[in-house]
Chains A and B, each alone.
Chain A
Amino acid sequence: MDKLEKIGYTLLGSLAAAYLIAMIVGMIAAFPYGLIGFIALGAVGILFIKVLRERLASTEDDYYAKEVDK
């Protein structure tokens, strides 16, 4: 991963985090109706953490990602 890629991903990641925080603040402000979106976001967040943990723990995926070139 080169320098430009890292900068691009960092910016996109920061933007995504800012957007997420803004969504959560909006949902809290819209209480009690905001609870619906809040619960949906929480559920998606939990599933995302699950897949992220599985990917980080997968040595098989690491092997193919590192060893196989084009």
Chain B
Amino acid sequence: MLITTQDEFADYEIVKTLGLVKGNTIRARHVGKDILASLRTLVGGEIVEYTKMLAESREQSMDRLIADAKKLNADGVVCLRFTTSPVMQGAAELLAYGTAVSLKKK
């Protein structure tokens, strides 16, 4: 599956627009990691627990977006965007969305 944040692919022509595809997830770390993250705010620096959490969220959202695109028999996804919203303390939704398209090599 070809994916881009651009409106089009350099080597492919869009022959059909299939529609909106999306993938989302809401993840949290366990209470021990939350305590570690809170303690890191006392000393400063990267909160690696939440960095990993959001990285996992991005991967899972992308995988779900790709599965959504495959259901439409898409060759690629253009205009990929990520958005996030807080749900509760220590948990955030990450939504990946884009437009599924059929492609032809230029």
Contact of B52 among A5, A9, A60, A68 (CB under 8 A): A68
Total interface residues on B, CB under 8 Å, equals 11
What residues on B are CB-neighbors of A70 within 8 Å? 48, 51-52, 55
Residue in A12, A60, A69 whose CB lies within 8 Å of B32: A12
- How many A-B residue contacts, CB cutoff 8 Å? 23
Could you tell me if A69 and B35 are in contact, using CB atoms closer than 8 angstroms? no
Secondary structure class of chain A's binding surface, majority of residues: helix
| A65 on the B face (CB < 8 A) | yes
Please tell me which one of the listed residues B35, B36, B60 contacts residue A64 in the complex, with CB atoms under 8 A apart: B60
**Is B8 part of the binding interface, using a Cβ–Cβ cutoff of 8 Å?**
no
Name B's A-contacting residues (CB within 8 A): 27, 32, 35-36, 48, 51-52, 55-56, 59-60
Q: A64-B60, A69-B52 are in contact. List 16 more A-B contacts (CB 8 A).
A: A5-B36, A8-B32, A9-B32, A12-B32, A12-B35, A64-B27, A64-B56, A64-B59, A65-B56, A67-B59, A68-B52, A68-B55, A68-B56, A68-B59, A70-B51, A70-B52
